[in-house]
Each structure stands twice: as structure tokens, then as C-alpha cells.
Amino acid sequence: MDAKDMGRDLEKVLVTEEEINARLAELGARIDADYAGRDLLIVGVLKGAVMVMADLARVLHSPVSMDWMAVSSYGAGTTSSGVVRILKDLETDIKDRDVLIVEDVIDSGLTLSWLVGNLKSRGPSSVEVCTMVRKPLAFDVDLDVKYIGFDLPNEFIVGYGLDYAEKYRNLPFIGTLAPHVYEE
């Protein structure tokens, strides 16, 4: 799916496919250097991280292991409460492993701060975070995010794994939807 397929449902493109790929190449080079000679496990947080996991894994030059978690935030509406339930846990024992959590977006930061704490309690050698997008609310949370694709303003965004009502994850860019989409 691309901008043409979106027609008038697309308001604007915030980050193009080319910009995403260029940034992934930079992040990949840093991750390769930081984990040189180590046995890295990258952990994607379903479902949003599917795109960034697939693309990041392919720019890395070492044979990383990949695993997945699915978590759900308790609480009504679109904001996270910080109370998280594990829907799908890792299949990997991460004791003494180097773990890199991969996310599509950090919004309030509550999901990730819970997840980092949860994974750290399992005795890994290290836990770091890579996210394609960080929103400004996340600045208020004490969360050390080592690899950040783009800092974007606090608007509702879709594409590259990010959804509106489970749709638009398959856009190759990140953008905003025209207001009429939300009204339908």
C-alpha cells in the first residue's frame, strides 16, 4: 500500500520510506558496532514492531536471534495505563543474554518502562531499547532509549507498523490520516 492507494485518506507524510531506510542503516551500523562479537537477541513487541524488526534485522551484519512478545496495556481508551499484561511471552531464556527491545513507537513510555523492568528481572547481561518513533510524552518517563529513529510531535500517526483501528500498518511511510477517516 502506498500514498496513491490512500487517496484522500492521507493527510500528510511525516517520514518517507527513504528517510526510514536511511535512518535504519545508521541505527544498524551503530548496533553492529556496539554488539560486535556478542550474541544479540532482538525482541520485537507485537504487532507494531513487525516492520522495524524485519527491516532492522536485514541491515545488521551479524546473525542475531529474534523473538517476540505481545503485551496489552490495561485501561480504557487510547492511552496506556502502565499496567501491562503479557499476552505472548518470549520463548528464549534471556539469562546472561544481550537483549535489544525493538518498538515502533514510544508514546507515554509506560509500556516500555514496564517491559524493561520485566526483562531485567530475568537476569540478562544487558537490556537496551530501539524505537522507530518517540513521542514527546515519553520524555517525562525515566526511560533510557539508546536507539531512536525519529522524534515526532504528539499527533496520531499511522504506517510502518502503526495502526488506526488495526489498519494502515502496511504503509511503507509514517503519516497522518485525514480527519474524515476518524469520523466514518
Active site residues: 107
Verify binding: residue 44, ligand PRP, rule CB under 6 A: no
Q: Within 10 A of 97 (CB to CB), how many other CB atoms are there?
A: 21
Q: Which of 109, 149, 159, 175 binds ligand PRP (CB under 6 A)?
A: 109
In the 8-state DSSP scheme, what is residue 13? E
Verify binding: residue 149, ligand PRP, rule CB under 6 A: no
**Omega before 47 cis (within 30°)?**
yes
Q: Which of 108, 118, 126, 170 binds ligand PRP (CB under 6 A)?
A: 108
Write the burial class of residue 172 (CB in 10 Å: 0-12 exposed, 13-18 middle, 19+ buried): middle
123 vs 114: CA distance, rounded Å: 15
Residue by residue, DSSP assigns 138-176 as GGGS-----EEEEE--SS--BBTTB-BTTBSTT-SSEEE
Verify binding: residue 80, ligand PRP, rule CB under 6 A: yes
Q: Which of 47, 90, 92, 148 binds ligand PRP (CB under 6 A)?
A: 47
Q: Identify whether the C-beta of residue 169 lies closer than 8 Å to the C-beta of residue 159.
A: yes
Q: How far is the CB of 129 from ligand PRP (least distance, A)?
A: 11
Q: Which of 43, 105, 130, 177 binds ligand PRP (CB under 6 A)?
A: 105
Q: How far is the CB of 133 from ligand PRP (least distance, A)?
A: 9
Q: How far is the CB of 170 from ligand PRP (least distance, A)?
A: 13
Verify binding: residue 94, ligand PRP, rule CB under 6 A: no
Q: Identify whether the C-beta of residue 127 lies closer than 8 Å to the C-beta of residue 114.
A: no
Task: Give the interface with ligand PRP as residue ranges (CB under 6 A).
Answer: 45-48, 73, 80, 103-112, 163
